[in-house]
Structure 1
Amino acid sequence: MSAETSAESHAYERQVDGFGSVSLVAVDPAGDLDLLHAWVTEERARFWGMGGYSREQVRETYGFLDSLTTHHAYLVHRDGEPVALFQTYEPDADPLGECYDVQPGDHGIHLLVGPTGTAEPGFTGALLSVLIGYVFGDPAHRRIVVEPDARNEKAVARVVRAGFELGPEIDKPEKRARLAFLSRAAAHR
C-alpha cells in the first residue's frame, strides 16, 4: 500500500495494491441522506441501531455528529464509489467513556460496510487496513477502541482477525457490546 496526498474533498486517500483507491470523504448529512438512510435502515445493518429511523432522524443524527469536534463521520469510497460508512470518536467525549477505563490516546471507530451485492474475499480486511492507517496517522492516537454488538459474531470475529484484542462485554443503553482494542504496536506487527 502506498499513501497519496489527500485531495481537497477527501479527508484521506490511499492506493491499495490489488484493491484500488480508498478515500474518506466527510459525510454531508443532507447531500448524502438518501444513501445513509438506505444503508442504516437495512436489516443487515440492524446492529447499527438505526433500523426504524426516518429520513429526518438520520439527517438529524448525522447533522448532530457533524456539529461535534470529537466525532466524525465519513463515507468510504473505493475507486470513487461509496462502499462503507466510517465513524471516529473520542471515547472520553462519548457515552462509551463511562463504560470502561479510557486510556490517553484511545480513539473509537465504527464501520458499516455498505451492500456490495456479492462477497469479495478480503474486502473488509482491506478497508480496515486503510482505516486503521488513517487513525494511526495521528500520533496522538495510541489505541483504537471498537464496541460491536456482542451478538454480532461476524463483527467480533472480523476485529479479532484484524489484530484487536478482545476486552470485556459492557452494557450500553442501546446494546450489550464487546470491547476490543488495537494498540499502535499491534497494528504495526
Structure 2
Amino acid sequence: MTEPLHLQTVEGFGTVRIDPVDPDRDAALIHGWVNEERARFWGMGGTTVDQVRDVYAHLDSLTTHHGFLVRRDGEPVAIFQTYDPEADRVSECYDVLPGDIGVHLFLAPTAAPERGFSTGLLTVLIDFALSGGRTRIVGEPDAANEKAIGLLVRSGFELGPEVVLPEVDLPEVFIPEKKARLAFLTR
C-alpha cells in the first residue's frame, strides 16, 4: 500500500487511514456494502460490481469530486466523499461560500455495532475535510435518513433547510432528484 492521504491516531479509538478509492481494487468491497438494504439512502442499490467500478472511476476522473476508502486499524470502515459545492447540484439549493466543502459519508456494515464509533470516525473525517484552507462543511443527507441527520447534529453540525436536490442526467452519470436536509459545520 502507498503512503496514506491522511493518517490520524485518536487515543482510545485507533488509527484512521484515508486513501483515494481505487476503482479496480475497491469495487467489489464497495459493491457488497452499497447493495444492502441499510444502504438505500446511498442510492447505489441494485448495481453490479462493474457499475460500482464505473461510478468510482468517473468520480476519480473529476477534479472537483473525490472518493476515499477509510480504514481504522487496517480494516475498511467507510466511504467518504468530498466535493466542491460550486461544481455540484447542491449549489442550486444554498449560497455557497468561499472555503465550503461538501461531504458524503457511508459507514460500512458491522456485525457488532460499537458505541461511539460513528462520532469518533466523523471527528477524524471533519479534520481531514477542513484541511487545506476549507472553513465550512456542508452535508446533505436524505431528508428521511434520521440516523445520518442525528449523527451530524451530535457532531456539531447546524441543521439548515430541507431542500430538493435537482436530478442530474448526463451521459456519464444519472442522479435522481432527492429531498435532502442541509447541515453545516463551520471551523
TM-score by length of structure 2 reads 0.92
Q: Secondary structure at the match of 1:69?
A: coil
Deviation at 1:25, TM superposition (A): 1.1
Distance, in Å, in 1 between the alignment partners of 2:28 and 2:54 is 13
Q: Secondary structure at the match of 1:31?
A: helix
1:127 paired residue number:
121
Please list the CA deviations of residues 63-84 of structure 1 after superposition, one character each: whole Å capped at 9, or x if unmatched.
0000011111111000011000
Deviation at 1:9, TM superposition (A): 2.6
Letter in 2 for 1:112: F
Alignment of 1:49 onto 2:52 = no
1:167 paired residue number:
160
Distance, in Å, in 2 between the alignment partners of 1:41 and 1:9 is 30
1:177 paired residue number:
180
Please list the CA deviations of residues 68-117 of structure 1 after superposition, one character each: whole Å capped at 9, or x if unmatched.
11111111000011000000000001111122111111100111000111
Please list the CA deviations of residues 151-172 of structure 1 after superposition, one character each: whole Å capped at 9, or x if unmatched.
0011111100000000011112
How many residue pairs get aligned? The number is: 177
Alignment of 1:75 onto 2:69 = yes
2:90 paired residue number:
96
Structure 2, unaligned stretches of length 5 or more? 168-175
Q: Secondary structure at the match of 2:97?
A: coil
Distance, in Å, in 1 between the alignment partners of 2:10 and 2:107 is 17
Runs of 4+ in 1 over 2 A off after TM superposition: none
Distance, in Å, in 2 between the alignment partners of 1:36 and 1:126 is 21
Letter in 1 for 2:158: E
Alignment of 1:151 onto 2:173 = no
TM-score by length of structure 1 reads 0.91
Distance, in Å, in 2 between the alignment partners of 1:69 and 1:143 is 19
1:187 paired residue number:
none
